[in-house]
Amino acid sequence: MSDPPNTWPGYYRGYRLRANADGGVWWQVYDGTERLYLDPTPDEIVERLVGLKSLGGRMHVTENQDVLTRVETDSGDYREVWLGEYPLDGEYRPAENPDVSIPVRPGNLDPGDLWPSVYDGARFSFVERDRVWWQNPETHRRHYIDTPLPREISLELNRYKSKGGSFRITPWRDLITLIPFHPRPDKVDSQFSELPEVVRNIIKLRKERGVEMLPIYIGSLDDFEFEIQDSKSLSEPLSEEEANELDSWAENLGRTHDVNPENHQDPTDETSEPTFDDDPEEWDSTNDEDV
């Protein structure tokens, strides 16, 4: 890819930050006015953003540290722009009390520990280790990843969400999720009171908005690489491999065992996958990209 800023060829997703023309960068608390300011700030990234949007605006940081924004076109639509890569780290400080801080990137966590920072990141969902997808919030189409999750990550996810659910991947590739109850109440009792007051207040705000769940750490994806695949269109022709596989399946249909049509589901059919409401995105941010 050419030097930033440049057109982003992928999907628009990730950990949400905002910046203004004065160089301030913050994480905004759930569609409210409270701000947690990032220290230190990615000055070069902000300079590129302000060069495109003079008042500043929103940025998303993907699970691969790509920083993205949207810029309005002459037709009133938006185009996605890549601002560069940034290894997000440092501290968040409340605007009204900058002497207080929480880590952006918590460390020394074990799977199942309460997450002691803001809950954000690229949102994915799963039902099995090899059935993981990112859902486009505009088209609502599901885009599956091309590689099964690491086995140890899958085991931890299933421990807390045995029927599947949603999770976030941070820019530093930690995997976190929300759960309605913890199978280890003793761990919650010992850790909840130790959470920073800022994080406890964020959990309180989330609870007041109807999301009565706790954020926990699942594990690190480290060097696990995956790609988000294009969503299949019904009008798109099958590849030669897909056509041969489908023909072979049709030829053998019914020869080996009977299938009850009422119980049959096509595993490639998006409508056969459940829809999860365990990690809503709509309630925690505005739709205005320039705010």
Rounded CA-CA distance 270/232 in Å is: 10
pLDDT of residue 267: 46
Cα 180 from chain centroid? Answer: 19
The residue among 94, 119, 148 that closes a domain is: 94
Asked, for residue 255, whether it belongs to a domain, the answer is: no
The residue among 62, 94, 126 that closes a domain is: 94
pLDDT of residue 102: 97
Asked, for residue 152, whether it belongs to a domain, the answer is: yes
Asked, for residue 168, whether it belongs to a domain, the answer is: yes
pLDDT of residue 290: 53
Asked, for residue 289, whether it belongs to a domain, the answer is: no
Same domain, 113 and 159: yes
Asked, for residue 150, whether it belongs to a domain, the answer is: yes
pLDDT of residue 287: 46
Same domain, 57 and 168: no
Same domain, 115 and 182: yes
pLDDT of residue 291: 39
Domain region containing 52: 6-94
Same domain, 187 and 220: yes
Asked, for residue 1, whether it belongs to a domain, the answer is: no
pTM score of the predicted model: 0.85
Same domain, 127 and 153: yes
Amino acid at 184: R
Same domain, 193 and 125: yes
pLDDT of residue 217: 97
SS3 26: strand
End-to-end CA distance of the chain: 28
Same domain, 59 and 122: no
pLDDT of residue 144: 95
Same domain, 124 and 170: yes
CA atoms within 13 A on the CB side of 47: 4
* DSSP state letters, 102-131: EESS--S--TT-B--S---SEEEEEEETTE
The residue among 94, 124, 147 that closes a domain is: 94
Rounded CA-CA distance 132/246 in Å is: 23
pLDDT of residue 247: 78
Same domain, 117 and 60: no
- Alpha-helix residue ranges (DSSP H) falling in 161-239: 185-192, 197-208
Extract the residue ranges of the chain whose pLDDT is less than 70.
31-32, 232-236, 238-239, 241-242, 254-272, 281-291
Same domain, 201 and 117: yes
Same domain, 32 and 70: yes
Same domain, 150 and 189: yes
Asked, for residue 208, whether it belongs to a domain, the answer is: yes
Q: What is the pLDDT of residues 120-173, one digit of tens each?
A: 999 999 998 889 999 999 899 999 999 999 999 999 999 999 999 999 999 999
For the chain, the domain total comes to: 2
Q: Note whether 141 and 135 are within 8 A (CB).
A: yes
pLDDT of residue 215: 95
Both tokens of residue 174? Answer: 């930690």
SS3 174: strand
